[in-house]
Structure 1
Amino acid sequence: MTAIRPEVLVLDVNETLSEMESLRSRFEGAGLPGESLDTWFAATLRDGFALTAAGSYGAFRTIGADVLRSMLAGAGLAPDEATIGGVLFGFGELRVHPDVASGLRRIHDLGVRLVTLTNGAASMSERMFAEAGVLPLLEHRLDVESPGRWKPHPAAYQYAAEVCGVEVERMALVAVHPWDIDGARRAGLQGFYLDRRATPYPEAFLAPDLVVPDLLALAKALEAR
């Protein structure tokens, strides 16, 4: 599909901008296999989505801790708070993908406004963005606590539009998660699929307006519009 250059680019954070592989060692340190990270992250999203579908809300850290507590107990390990806190503390020590800093600078130089919108806590990524030198490029760093609904609920994207003072049609979401792209598109935004792992896009979801492998490729695509 042909995408018109948006006025505001809404950036997902977890996995889209942050490189989460380093968290595997923290799961291993807690006595779980490294691949438990994938199960934990999927289950945390599941429970956050479930609360949203029920018209309720739970903080990412609260839900993530609950899921980790269950995983530890299921593995016959003591689900003590120090262990859980140690694993979740790793989110504050993540780094961005190699393309993020240069890609965001090129997009920012085009005059496109940049904001982040995460189902986690916005404060969790401040250190990561500061270390990458992109914190000044981000006009707003938003999370879903204020709307009380996790993405992909339309209220989350509408909240970002209200904060930025633009119509949703003038925004585009960038994410590695097809469910996020689908939710943004149904809310009226464009959806730019950052296909970092060459993963087929699900046919059940609304198709993205643009598919790129990284943010440098996205910058190049936006330069042409």
Structure 2
Amino acid sequence: MSMENFPSIIVFDVNETLLDITSLEPLFARIFDDRNVLREWFAQLILYSQTMTLSGLYTSFGELGVGALKMIAAIHQATLTDKDIEELKERMSTMPAHPDTTPALSQLRNAGFRLVTLTNSASTIFPTPLEKAGLDHFFERTFSVEATKKFKPAPDTYQWVARELSVKTSDLCLVACHLWDTIGAQAAGCRGAFLTRPNNALLPASGVPHPDIIASELTELAEQIIRAASSTSER
């Protein structure tokens, strides 16, 4: 795939891409006796966030997260308490950074890239999960879909980020460990860099945009981005 005119602005997804959602596993292990129910909950959270957007509706990601936990508990016939709900909120707001996050962000910043984030989570929580994880200083802007009230991968959300930065979507490269996110970004005109963290993989089907860059470690993804931009500048 051609890397001509590779973007210098890198847009990072936050949840699972930068921050480790496996820190929520103890909650699911306690409620459901199975830590893997975390993945079922997260999949339902993404499904219903996208459903709300397609339906022209909006409820914050945090509220949907709580609702999805209640729904999963009803499906599994598990007892859920107010204390469990509070623990979910606390754990969602204090997810630690993946070990490869800080080195990768340092690589990209030192190479001269502009770094921003785009998350489905609301921006009204202070300090933000990025601040608590010690990552906020890497980014010049932190964007939330709260502004558009359209969850990723709605095209309007990626286009809004480009407008806010006074650039075209083709000037952005989205980094995410969710293929649905890179698909949306690429369909909106951005480049897509796919991080194959555990529980995430390519979707081999016709018509599905193939990511411009793929790696299993964020540091390797950063190195590929730097090489792609270097080869562009040498032309």
User: What is the DSSP-based 3-state SS (H/G/I as helix, E as strand, rest coil) of the residue aligned with 1:37?
Assistant: helix
Q: In 2, Cα distance between the equivalents of 1:59 and 1:128?
A: 16
Amino acid at match of 2:68: V
- How far apart are 1:222 and its partner, in Å? 2.7
Q: In 2, Cα distance between the equivalents of 1:126 and 1:214?
A: 27
Q: Is the 8 A contact 1:91 1:124 kept in 2?
A: no
Q: Is the 8 A contact 1:198 1:213 kept in 2?
A: no
Task: Summarize the Cα distance change of 1:31–1:48 in structure 2 as closer, same or farther, 3 Å threshold.
Answer: same
- How far apart are 1:29 and its partner, in Å? 2.9
Q: Does 2:85 correspond to 1:84?
A: yes
Q: Is the 8 A contact 2:13 2:175 kept in 1?
A: yes
Task: Summarize the Cα distance change of 1:85–1:32 in structure 2 as closer, same or farther, 3 Å threshold.
Answer: farther
Give the counterpart of 1:220 among 220, 223, 226: 223
Amino acid at match of 1:7: S
Q: Is the 8 A contact 1:49 1:150 kept in 2?
A: yes
Q: Is the 8 A contact 1:2 1:210 kept in 2?
A: no
Q: Is the 8 A contact 1:168 1:189 kept in 2?
A: yes
Q: Residue 105 of structure 1 aligns with which residue?
A: 106
Q: Does 2:125 correspond to 1:115?
A: no
- Where do 4+ consecutive residues of structure 1 move more than 6 Å? none
Matched ranges for 1:156-167 at <5 A: 156-167=157-168
Q: Is the 8 A contact 1:32 1:75 kept in 2?
A: no
State the identity as a percent. 30
Matched ranges for 1:188-203 at <5 A: 188-197=189-198, 200-203=201-204
Q: Is the 8 A contact 1:16 1:176 kept in 2?
A: yes
User: What is the DSSP-based 3-state SS (H/G/I as helix, E as strand, rest coil) of the residue aligned with 1:145?
Assistant: helix
Please give the per-residue CA displacement for 1:9-66, whole angstroms capped at 9, x wherever unaligned. 1100111111111211012233452111001000011111111111221211111111
- How far apart are 1:198 and its partner, in Å? 8.6
Q: Residue 176 of structure 1 aligns with which residue?
A: 177
List runs of 5+ in structure 1 lacking aligned partners: none
- How far apart are 1:200 and its partner, in Å? 4.2
| TM-score, with structure 2 as normaliser | 0.87
List runs of 5+ in structure 2 lacking aligned partners: 231-235
Q: In 2, Cα distance between the equivalents of 1:68 and 1:32?
A: 14
Q: Residue 63 of structure 1 aligns with which residue?
A: 64
Q: Residue 144 of structure 1 aligns with which residue?
A: 145
Please give the per-residue CA displacement for 1:69-127, whole angstroms capped at 9, x wherever unaligned. 12223333343333212123201221111111011011011211111111112455955
Matched pairs, number: 225
Please give the per-residue CA displacement for 1:112-165, whole angstroms capped at 9, x wherever unaligned. 111111111245595553455432111111110111100000011012112222
| TM-score, with structure 1 as normaliser | 0.91
Q: Is the 8 A contact 1:116 1:138 kept in 2?
A: yes
Q: Is the 8 A contact 1:27 1:87 kept in 2?
A: no
User: What is the DSSP-based 3-state SS (H/G/I as helix, E as strand, rest coil) of the residue aligned with 1:95?
Assistant: coil
Q: In 2, Cα distance between the equivalents of 1:120 and 1:153?
A: 15
Q: In 2, Cα distance between the equivalents of 1:127 and 1:168?
A: 26
Please give the per-residue CA displacement for 1:161-182, whole angstroms capped at 9, x wherever unaligned. 1222211110000001111111
